[in-house]
Structure 1
Amino acid sequence: MSTPGARTLPAGGLLEARDEAERAALVEAGRRLFARPCRFFFAAQRLDQLPPPRGPEVAFCGRSNVGKSSLVNALTGQATLARVSNTPGRTRQLNFFEIEGPPGEGRLVLVDMPGYGYAQAPKDIKADWQGLMFDFLRGRPSLRRVLLLLDARIETKPSDRAVMDLLDRAAVAFQIVLTKADAVRSAALARRVREAETLARSHTAGHPLVIVTSSRSGEGIETLRAELAALAGPAPG
């Protein structure tokens, strides 16, 4: 994403920022990107329902009730953009949200994926979710990265590890984002971050930078916006 005369952003995001000026440029790009309107434009329950690519995509993936919709809302500054539910397993489709940009500016599509790991969901629905998720991941050329959300308050679950293996097999880069950090004491949070970093390094598709967030307090939202700004790009020709 660029504007005339603007500093070129590091393609690798915050990890490739060489100095504070480049980091500040990414933060400002993230602020500008997510200051634009973001709108829901499509929902798909099957692979043959997927919309044509409209720009680079970032998918939000995680256990049911990990806070995917809340994080989408916090990033975009729109409290009701993505539906937030207290009932785990309610999201049963891929929901697409678009941040459009004027000519010369980048755009980004956010994809809220079905939650996984909810034991009370019917087995046939869980199988459909997993099948749709894997098929989407491995067959979507516009998908730049998956944000794998893990609850900072609890240990990594077997289902989380299984999804990391699935992402390795699909050859899709994923980045761990810890959610609900406001509910964790600093020492416990530091241990959780170290665990997540170790997990990321143990997977071929894992991104080494772990981002800590809280949709309630706003912690990490600016950082995540900056990271995603490096993935934004032009619409397909």
Structure 2
Amino acid sequence: MLAAALPLCVPGAPLEGAVTDLPPEESSGEGEKEVQMKPRPIDPFNITETLAQILKVTKGHREEFKNEFRGNVDYNSLNRTLIPVKFPKSKEARLQQLAQDLTTYSVLLKHVDKEYPGKFIVTELKATLPRLITKVKRTMRNADRVVALTGSQELQLLKELESLDSYHRKMMAHSILSSIHDFLVEWKRELTKRQMRKTQISNLNETEPLGSVCS
């Protein structure tokens, strides 16, 4: 099945073991000396803001689906997890996972574009997903670990989708759009949660009484 095959089509560098050292903000702190550092922006490239902007577009897909099939097909019958959402432990691995999965979705979007040429949601995603991928990669230390599908891999993936009959090609196109939406929702929630946690820790450190700092 496509959902099972997708991870095998992604040639990116392995996540497990790819980053053996934790980023500075996630190090254990053992054996380290206190160093005065300027506070860094939580999300310097506004990744969560970009996710929010894209979601304003993709949230309209459910209504479009209902209008197209007039209640004859249940939206919840779509496969909405074509690529399982994973959140690796280290920041670098998380960013790599996000960028790699977005890259795969960009390829799958070509199938949707073929089934629904000129569709507003597809046009917007074709423009915004590459920008989001660029932002994520700019946040990474090793952006070269995010590798696009080769021409033959992309062709094989799209050929598999094109081999479906007309009805199932459309269902797959809608599954891709719904999967992208749910994928972005999950990632926005995860990144927002982590940003809030860092902000709380930062605020706590700034307001901590002098006595407790010196103790």
TM range (shorter): under 0.3
- The structure with the largest strand share of the pair is 1
Could you tell me the TM-score, scaled by structure 1's length? Answer: 0.24
Could you tell me the TM-score, scaled by structure 2's length? Answer: 0.26
Larger radius of gyration: 2
- The structure with the largest helix share of the pair is 2
The answer to which structure, 1 or 2, has the higher relative contact order (CA under 8 A, 6+ apart) is 2
